[in-house]
Chain A
């Protein structure tokens, strides 16, 4: 429960001792960022839950918030976490759990110091919700694997030095059993990264084409055929990385709706629109309270269903609110300020998009990170215990499963 056990007291002492040592030896305000982050790694404060020597202290992950708070307070930066979000947020945990010692020594530190950016390549045009159906092939040729295929929705692909890649190494077994996980050098011959323009006119993501790309076998993560398990570790870390702070009351999409309402001319402020605005305000706040409740329950070690419902609720609500904001804008909702600039936005910045862009961007909310349909299956089956759909592809070799 909430009271400190001896073990927690001991962990707190170790964490605080390390923070003090780090901040004394490397005052963040006067230490260049990469040097500081390197020292932070060496002090076991990069990701405290991981083992000592690999950037951690082998303590509960809940101490990380305290570490970051102290660093920021001392004038340091944690922007490496957002700028290398896929590496630090997802890749590190995967390499710690499944990587070889050489891989751990080689990759973790420069990942944390932002010297090497990482991307993740799981989704394919033919494998979205059904990720395990993916088709990018890897064939062993001596001590190398030769990779061919296409990945999509690759965040930071154009900046990344390294990629986390799941491939099909055995098409003759059922889909989950034939996958293998690699680290791939994005500068290799045959890797072609192209911007993927989305409905906002921007390219947050990339498509990555692989044509006879050679990956040395020592960059394989986990055993051959174990790729699904390793990929799940990556995605579990994604949930941890995303489930961070709870927004303050009235922030986010609802703030833009309220702002648009306040800018509405008095004659246009009809009671029906006001009621609709308040309906959204109510749901946004109820949802926010649920995330607070979920966070509290998780901290107490008694997580319940409230921890699984936010993504689904947020996606649908965000779409509804951003659409309503456009309605409030009236004729201005027919414009697109700044036009469709075919650029790459800085996806790691927290800048608030215009209501127009937010409206368009929100359409992805119920698709990315698990479609709302898949989320409802998960809630129905894992939380409510309802039976699953019959699966026609479960025992078939991947090669024989119909694909679009």
Chain B
């Protein structure tokens, strides 16, 4: 095994990073109340545009975009802090789709001109990217649902892409399409003629997904990404997203642990706080153990991504996604049990976390898929 070398990790946050965390925590606690989350979730807008603007104005949307392109020039550790806090409150904003998936693919796959054209507006939040790379069955292996054909002055896109995160509300689509010469990536105006976007009825209503149809959609040559090998750029975006999801999951797991613990301290049955019963206490202790290890796995992956250690990332990213997904699902399921009847009601927020957990577990590859990738990386 070539990957056994112990990675050089520092988990500690700098003072600036700690300040970033408390700033984001404070803001989101105030803005993303249960009432507001439900308003957005059940409304037509598809995301919290007011919060999105605020996040952008604070420089959090453009955090990792280079300074010369209007961003903050930070690394992925800073982004991971924001993601963890967003996951903690299930913030209904297109951060994963635009900042992580879309922007990473453009930053990796776009030429300098293309990056300069797109990323400054991503940083201000006025451009919201969504990545359309799957077919309608959402298969991870196999070609995308879109085909691109060469025409005189550009390309024509045909087909249907499934499971496009924030696909209906995005301003621009990053489209992976099959051509006669293999995979290519295109930037497509989401309002272009022939693009039809339909919301999917999703399990996790705080994170919309769409099916995006393309019929005779014309794309200029200038909008084919030409900065790097398309498959590599797509892979970079997906790998960053996988780590991002793990960070979100850690935030959600920690919040779930805190809420369930607080409830177990307060809720009295048989004349005792239910948290004094070992059946409840031990479940929470197990949740704590798992939450701490999930945090280690996600933070490690975020640091490896930040330092671009490719070989270690092939271990750290699938490990984080596989582990944090399982921990989050278990924690939220256990939380419903600890809350008891109230945890099963629509009124209580636990089901929102439970649904986010299941949905993100399946998003961009389930744990088994990622364990298999890990096994390939380890030669097992």
Contact = CB atoms under 8 A, between A and B. Distances in A.
A292 B1 contact: no
Interface in B289-323: 289, 292-297, 299-300, 319, 322-323
Contacts of B299: 293
A377 B371 contact: no
Interface string B315-359: 000010011000000000000000000000000000000000000
14 contacts: A249-B4, A274-B375, A282-B319, A282-B371, A286-B297, A289-B296, A290-B296, A312-B285, A384-B285, A385-B261, A386-B273, A386-B281, A386-B284, A387-B273
Contacts of B3: 249
A248 interface: yes
A309 interface: yes
Interface in B227-241: none
B323 A387 contact: no
B372 A281 contact: no
A274 B371 CA distance: 9
B243 to A, nearest CB: 14
Nearest to B3: A249
Interface residue tally on B, bucketed by range: 35 or more
A388 interface: yes
B293 A287 contact: yes
Interface stretch (B5-13, B25-33, B132-140, B198-206): B5-13
Contacts of B264: 386
Nearest to B5: A249
Interface of B: 1, 3-7, 9-12, 261, 264-265, 272-273, 275-276, 278, 280-282, 284-286, 288-289, 292-297, 299-300, 319, 322-323, 368, 371-372, 374-375, 378, 380
A273 to B, nearest CB: 11
8 closest Cβ pairs, A-B complex: A386-B275, A380-B281, A289-B296, A376-B285, A278-B371, A379-B285, A286-B293, A387-B276
A387 B295 contact: no
Interface residues of A, number: 44
A376 B278 contact: yes
B282 A380 contact: yes
Please classify the interface of chain B as helix (H, G, I), strand (E, B), loop, or mixed, using the class held by over half of its residues: helix
Interface of A: 2, 248-250, 258, 261, 274-275, 277-279, 281-283, 285-287, 289-290, 292-293, 296-297, 300, 305-306, 309, 312-313, 373, 375-377, 379-381, 383-390
Nearest to B321: A282
B371 A275 contact: yes
B361 to A, nearest CB: 14
A309 B290 CA distance: 9
A278 B284 contact: no
Contact of A292 (B295, B296, B368, B372): B296
A1 B126 CA distance: 41
Nearest to A306: B292
B261 A274 contact: no
B281 A376 contact: yes
A297 B10 CA distance: 10
A390 B272 contact: yes
B4 A248 contact: yes
Nearest to A293: B11
A373 B285 CA distance: 10
Most chain A beta-carbon neighbours within 10 Å: one of B273, B286, B296: B296
B290 to A, nearest CB: 8
A381 B281 CA distance: 8
B293 A290 contact: yes
A297 B293 contact: no
Contacts of B273: 386-387
A385 B276 CA distance: 10
B368 A275 contact: yes
A387 B275 contact: yes
Nearest to A276: B371
Contacts of A381: 281
B323 A281 contact: no
Contacts of A387: 265, 272-273, 275-276
